[in-house]
Structure 1
């Protein structure tokens, strides 16, 4: 019984420590997690671009592309969606709009994102068609599965 009590006390103290650290960061306005500088969830566009480049490099290496496949690869890699600050609405401008106008702006953004995604899909299909069945399996294994929880890939 003493082990159970000790374990419970340890877990309680760990929880209190986590809450205290979180409250401290919150009180400072999230400065420690760079919330203000990078927007929601601390997304840093430069870091996101770096991750994207790393992912493409790893994927390219795993696919072991032939010289004939490189042209389709370059087109596919160029069509990769990029975090674009210009796509985000200006909060001050959005505050001036009424609810229907804000929704219209949101719909415009969604249509623009859909167009970019359609271009990306076309490049993906063109690239996928030149891959061997083994390369297609590797490609499928490396791509995120929408609708499922994101998995960490090594």
Structure 2
């Protein structure tokens, strides 16, 4: 019985200490820096122009890294240039200056018309994907076997990263 009362007393003390710490008021938040005070954090986060610019920078960085990994020689430069040009991402159909107008136009459509419009957009995207696939196969054929192994490993890692980030179609899928 004595052991049970010690455990009960200890549990009660811990619970009381826990309630006491929760009852204390938290320290005040630090004062915002002048730049933070001027504009909320989310301003510019969804700006289509800034988003497109960030994506273009990311694409250019990835292409430069791939070119360095493949060790493209001057003889292969023409094939690389053609490949790199074909890999330029197409702008997202719902981004850009007239985004609100396109959304308003889409809202006016009936459900069957929206389905047809979505199918047309998907068909355009599939055509762009087919062109990229053909360009990739052509470029791949121009690479030396060692470069093909590097290309295989790099694109395999890229695809596994996309799967983990949720890029499996829909709004967050490939846009070009």
TM class by shorter chain equals 0.5 to 0.7
Aligned twin of 2:65: 58
Question: Is the aligned partner of 1:78 residue 2:92?
Answer: no
Equivalent of 2:116, from 76, 89, 104? 104
Structure 2, unaligned stretches of length 5 or more? 1-9, 23-39, 166-176
Matched, 1:32 2:41: yes
- Distance in 2, Cα, partners of 1:119 & 1:47: 24
Cα 1:94–1:113 change in 2 (3 A) is same
* Distance across 1 between alignment mates of 2:56 and 2:46: 19
The equivalent residue for 2:150 is 138
Task: Output the CA distance in 1 between the equivalents of 2:148 and 2:113.
Answer: 44
**Paired residues of 1:76 and 1:123 also in contact (CA < 8 A):** yes
Cα RMSD of the aligned pairs, angstroms, is 3.1
Contact 2:80 2:139 in 1 (8 A): yes
Question: Which is further off, 114-123 or 76-85?
Answer: 76-85
Gaps of 5+ in 1: 14-30
TM superposition score normalised by structure 1: 0.68
Question: How many pairs does the alignment contain?
Answer: 123
Q: Is the 8 A contact 2:70 2:150 kept in 1?
A: yes
1:113 aligns with 2:120: no
| Structure 2 match to 1:26 | none
Specify which structure has the bigger relative contact order, considering alpha-carbon pairs within 8 angstroms and separated by 6 or more residues: 2
> Which residue of 2 is the match for residue 18 of structure 1?
none
Would you say 1:148 and 2:175 are equivalent positions? no
Shift of 1:83: 4.1
Query: Alpha-carbon deviation of 1:130?
Result: 1.1
